[in-house]
Chain A
Amino acid sequence: MAVTVRIPTPLQKLTNGVEEVESSSGSVMDIINDLDAKFPGIGERLAENGKVRRFVNIYVNEEDIRFLQAELTFINDGDEISIIPAIAGGSK
């Protein structure tokens, strides 16, 4: 079993359209680094100097990492990470 990372639509342009990426257990920061190795550029979009960017929302399973140990939160095999950006539209 691995860690599943769900990539939201706006970031899929950085993953060549891939919606779900597998990674191995480690801290949130380890996983971001692993993502960046697979898809160069996505790391910079999500984090800066080893910290998750302020307006980026990352959830482990159902929990916001801000209320856990932020980028140091340890992610186990079988966990699911989602990156959830705000949505603007009401389709007006």
Chain B
Amino acid sequence: MDKEFTSEQLQRYQRQMMLPGIGLAGQQKIAESRVFIAGAGGLGSPAGYYLAAAGIGRICMADDDVVELSNLQRQIAHNTERIGMSKTKSAEISFKSLNPNVEFLAIQQRITKENVAALIEDHDIVLDCSDNLSTRYLLNDACVLMSKPLVSGAVAGFTGHVTTIIPGQGHCFRCIFEDMDPYDKSLDSQPGILGAFAGVIGSIQAMETLKIITGIGETLQNTLLIYDGLKSEFRRVHAARNRDCPACGENPTIKISGRG
């Protein structure tokens, strides 16, 4: 499996290969990894950008939207000239121009319960950068079923969440948020957001991904990280596998199902 790096690559990745725990072996793991990113928006842009920069072997990004002017204050993988272009194509151009070593797969599709398994199947890690709870549950359920690590990020207003799910080794998304709260109709609305704020959460997702790949440090496994952008405060709460979880509990009732 030893990958020979070119001198261009050795120079490109020099500063991260100097880090304890990464080195040549860690860079090889990064170069061999295949990452699936759900969503090419406010979280997928920074997460994908940093993963491409770090030299991930293959990034597959799925999103069915096209670039709009109102996206550009936060979705930095796109630009003004690409309004009307598919977001995944636009992200491909940005990421490949930053780092041509990365293989990029653009999937201009909405993630559904019919295609989710096929989309994530060939990937080592899944990033949830989606914009709705249906997709979040769908990705969680598929990742639990297929034992894929899932790095979930979400933002609303000045509140952000990140958690890292390693199926079989701890909690899943439904262990924390079992299902959509029928009382909370505001959840799927689209409140305001600052690009820099989404950038913080997407960057943490990229960090989590690189830690899973290289094995350095501690991930947010069994932890929900909560970022309060107004107070510049990070808080952590403990997440644990719930024996009654419908996805990963002792008697799971969910196969692969989302809602809608």
Which residues of A pack against B, CB within 8 Å? 8-10, 45, 53-57, 59, 62-64, 66-67, 82, 84-92
Contact = CB atoms under 8 A, between A and B. Distances in A.
Most chain B Cβ neighbours within 10 Å, of A8, A10, A90: A90
A89 B237 contact: no
Contacts of B161: 86-87
A53 B177 contact: no
A89 B131 contact: yes
A90 B179 contact: no
B42 A90 contact: yes
A88 B133 contact: yes
Interface of B: 39, 41-44, 63, 65, 74-75, 128-133, 136, 153-161, 176-184, 186-188, 190-191, 193, 198, 224, 226, 235-240, 242
A45 B130 CA distance: 27
B86 to A, nearest CB: 13
B178 A89 contact: no
Looking at B63, B65, B226, the one whose CB has the most chain A CB atoms below 10 A away is B226
B181 A86 contact: yes
Given A10-B186, A53-B183, A57-B176, A90 B240 contact: no
B178 A88 contact: no
A90 B154 contact: yes
Given A63-B238, A64-B240, A84-B237, 13 more contacts: A9-B158, A53-B183, A55-B178, A55-B181, A55-B182, A64-B238, A82-B237, A86-B133, A88-B131, A88-B154, A90-B128, A91-B193, A92-B63
Given A53-B183, A55-B178, A55-B179, A89 B154 contact: yes
A92 B41 contact: yes
A84 B156 CA distance: 13
